[in-house]
Structure 1
Amino acid sequence: MTLGSSVLASAAPKTPGVTAKQITIGATVPLTGIASPGYSDVAKAANAVFQYVNKKGGVNGRKIKFILKDDCYGTPGFGCTGIPNTATQTRALLSAGIFATVGSLGTPTQDSVRTLLNANHVPQLFVNSGSLDWNNPTKYPGLFGWQTSYNVEAKIFAKYILATYPTANVCYLGQGDDFGADGLAGLVAGGVTPSDTQLYSVGALVVTNGASIAPYVARFQSDKCTVVVLDTIPGATDATLGAALKLGYTPHWIISSVGADPVTVDGPFSKYPIPDPEIGAVSFSYLPASTATNAWNTWDRKVLLADKTDFPNFTATTPITGNMTYGIGWGVAFVEALKATGRNVTRAGFLKTLTHTTFKQTPALTALRYTPTNHQGLSGGYLVTVTSASATKALTGQVYTTDSGSGPVKPIKAVAPSIPAWLK
């Protein structure tokens, strides 16, 4: 009987990417190219978390190996030195025998490899995008989002617009994919229908080096739009603010968290003797504001300072960007889920942990909660305002939650910052 059990155990299939001492994961991200400003720091910040944990002995005795592949946001040109094809880079990760992809970035890029990863039974975890596409557990059981959806973010924006600018002429510029479509749907569901809606092409943004955005801004000015909502990546945010600056156009800007990080957005303007044109804009967050007194902000700095490979020039006074906190946020979520899974790590076991655990000890101000029928991720956040070229602060501090449908936007109590003892 003992011999038979031993034979069966030795014949049990091994989980790809998992050995006795290591778990190997990977991601496709824009390390170079049009989307790399700011976004290139996201996965590096997550890796800083993994390296910090590795130095403490790993998670349940296993260290984390994180393989990054540069897909340039699937767009060639403008400094792209990677392979601007997400499928090609994802296949390279599959060949490396990864346990899962974790934190791959982009709506169109990750949409393009859902079927590939699903067919190979490789989990596609914590996609860096707020698209509703990640919440389809019936068709893609291993696919999980992480951040609050663009739809929910926009519904919270709508509540703010209706309360603050009830008679405003609202216009909208969004990316011409699910990013823009979901954001627009959220505004409308929240009771705000823009008088003018424009969708930009990432391809045109790249080919024209941002010049394709200027006609939209001129149109908004001509239409006398007093509030402009942007669902834009940082390069498009820069192009929008730059075009408005040239026209002397100063609407109230409301910018998706995806494209509002102050340090990233100010980059192209910092060489000119002008204030950052983003100052005063309203955005959204589900993580601590950079000016907040929060235990996670202190921990973030410690982790980034310790990673001299990814952040060799980071010092005790370097601003922590929104993209850094974003990467740290899902990096912590992954190690927490891995810790909760226990020593016996399988793909099925990890996914079960995700769908049956509420994670309250991550940097997010709302609990991270998945279920077998909901793989979206965070479901709320709060409004912030840009106060300088490197900082944001909470507008009121009130955290809200809602759904991606017609449900109301409701105030909730923020999750108190609490760092797990094993991570300190």
Structure 2
Amino acid sequence: MNTGRKLTVALAAIAAMGVAASPAFADNMYGPGVTDTSIKIGNTMPYSGPAAAYGAIGKSISAYFDKINKENGGINGRKIEFISLDDGYSPPKTKEQTRKLVEQDKVLIVFQGLGTPTQSAVHAYMNHKKVPQLFVATGATKWGDPKNFPWTMGWQPSYQTEGQLFATYVLENVKDAKIGILYQNDDYGKDYVKGMKDVLGDKADKMIVAEESYEVTDPTINSQVIKLKDSGANVFFNVATPKFAAQAIKKVRELNWDPVFLNNSVSNSVGSVYKPAGLENSKGVISLQYYQDITDPAIFDTEPYKKWKAFMTEYYPDGDQSSSFTAYGYLVAQTMEQVLKQAGDNLTRENVMKEAANLDLKLDLMLPGVDIKTSPTDFFPIESMMPIQFDGEKFVSLGKVVSVN
């Protein structure tokens, strides 16, 4: 009898403790990968393979999270554990690494996975698992489809938007344009081409005189560039990742071809593209941009540049300070930081996606007039860009920030 009474009292005490503790537990709502002191964030990045130049983005993001962990103790008191895995820009490897992040590492989200073919390979999986595939590092239009894929969101301007802006530039600035297009043979390349054709409309068949595609496994694109030159094109629209963009610039100059050279923004980097291609060779290349040119001496005395340079010097000292990819990584990491700040202690996957779809953010390294805005029906955070031209040392504005909206 005494033993039974003691057991009853003990159970009552435990129950009372549970009731007392439940309001405190209710204050913090956690998804996988979250504790009172940490948040696990996953990522896949091509640190090797044909798109390895983009690895600077992953390293910049990691450095930024190191910064906020050291200087701020993390976000809302939780340090970021950033698990970034190499997928070599290979879709099968991306599948393998993403499954590891979700099923073994138990990350809260996968953030900034890079590449259209690679992220397409896990698009359905992430949405089936209801894991945020957040701020995907590709401008494919498919990342902005909240109705059918509510767990996926891009970050940079969509490739179709960019293609539309390039077409507008040609219509307004190039007389008797004959366009030759080099593009990667996947959704990434095809999105740009579609955007351009959408704006050219019924003029597209006449104005586009040649289209040549390449595979990411191709060693070079020299033969494609030769065919485009031979087509009589006086505008070259280069839709390529950094390795092939640099090859294209070199080959165009070797052929003594002097078209209006349009280079997509994902390869608009002094350090990763124009230096390898040759700065003199790259002179005159036209592109589009939405954040400040970190190689422009005109911004060296500004506070945003000084903050970025101090960050690079302390947290990513071996990073290439002439590569726009380091600025890109810095900015997208700040965007992720803001989402987690807004989420507060409600760190479920559902609430992280809700906050990602509720942004109205100005980042100080962005070009004036370019904001980050989202809503439950708008998963395209950045929709404005500025036409720019490389003068052999830095980028020069060719007009104001424009949008297709």
Q: Is TM more than 0.5 here?
A: yes
Query: Does 2:123 correspond to 1:107?
Result: no
**Partner SS, residue 235 of structure 1:** helix
Aligned residue for 2:232, secondary structure, equals coil
**What residue ranges of structure 1 are gaps of 5+ in the alignment?**
76-83, 404-424
Distance 2:371 2:35 in 1: 31
Q: Distance in 1 between matches of 2:79 and 2:364?
A: 20
Q: How does 1:390-409 map to 2 (within 5 A)?
A: 391-396=394-399, 398-403=400-405
Residue 231 of structure 2 corresponds to 223
CA contact (8 A) 2:247 2:277 kept: no
Match of 1:52 in 2: 67
Counterpart in the other structure of 2:56: 41
The answer to whether residue 296 in structure 2 is matched with residue 282 in structure 1 is no
CA distance in structure 1 between the aligned counterparts of 2:165 and 2:254, rounded to whole angstroms: 30
Counterpart of 1:406?
A: none
Q: May I ask how many residue pairs the two structures share in their alignment?
A: 376
Instruction: Give the Cα separation in 2 of the matches to 1:109 and 1:395.
Output: 34
SS at match of 2:126: helix
Pick from 21, 36, 41 the counterpart of residue 37 of structure 2: 21
Three-state SS of the structure 1 residue aligned to 2:396 is strand
Looking at secondary structure, tell me which structure has more helix per residue: 2
The residue aligned with 1:198 is 212
| Residue type of the alignment partner of 2:379 | H
Deviates more, 1:101-110 or 1:160-169: 160-169
Alignment-derived partner of residue 178 in structure 1:
187
5 Å-filtered alignment, 1:84-163, equals: 85-94=93-102, 95-163=104-172
- The residue number in structure 2 matching 1:420 is none
CA offset digits 1:88-114 (Å, max 9, x no partner): 011121111111011110001000001
What is aligned with 1:265?
Answer: 273
What's the CA shift for 1:242? 2.5
Contact 1:333 1:362 in 2 (8 A): no
CA distance in 2, matches of 1:68, 1:3: 38
CA separation of 1:170 and 1:64: change in aligned 2, threshold 3 A: same
- Residue 85 of structure 1 aligns to a residue whose secondary structure is helix
Displacement of 1:3 in angstroms is: 4.7
Judging changes above 3 Å, is the alpha-carbon distance between structure 1 residues 3 and 20 closer, same or farther for their aligned structure 2 residues?
Answer: closer
Q: For residues 140 and 186 of structure 1, what CA distance do their matches in structure 2 show?
A: 22
Q: TM-score, length-normalised on structure 2?
A: 0.87
Kindly indicate whether the alpha-carbon contact (under 8 Å) linking 2:29 and 2:347 is maintained by their aligned counterparts in 1: no
Deviations 1:82-136 (A, max 9, x none): xx61100111211111110111100010000012222222100010000001012
Between the aligned partners of 1:395 and 1:299, the Cα distance in structure 2 is 27
Aligned-CA RMSD value: 2.2
Describe the SS at the equivalent of 2:380.
Answer: coil
- Measured after TM superposition, the shift of residue 387 of structure 1 is 2.4
Task: Give 1:355 shift.
Answer: 1.6
Paired residues of 2:211 and 2:228 also in contact (CA < 8 A): no
Q: Which residue does 2:10 correspond to in 1? A: none
2:81 to 50, 65, 68: 65
Counterpart of 2:309 in structure 1 is 301
CA contact (8 A) 2:249 2:277 kept: no
1: CA distance, partners of 2:18 / 2:96 = 45
Gaps of 5+ in 2: 1-15
**Overall identity of the aligned pairs, in %:** 28
Question: Using the alignment, how far apart are the partners of 1:367 and 1:256 within structure 2?
Answer: 20
Q: Which residue of 2 aligns with 1:344?
A: 346
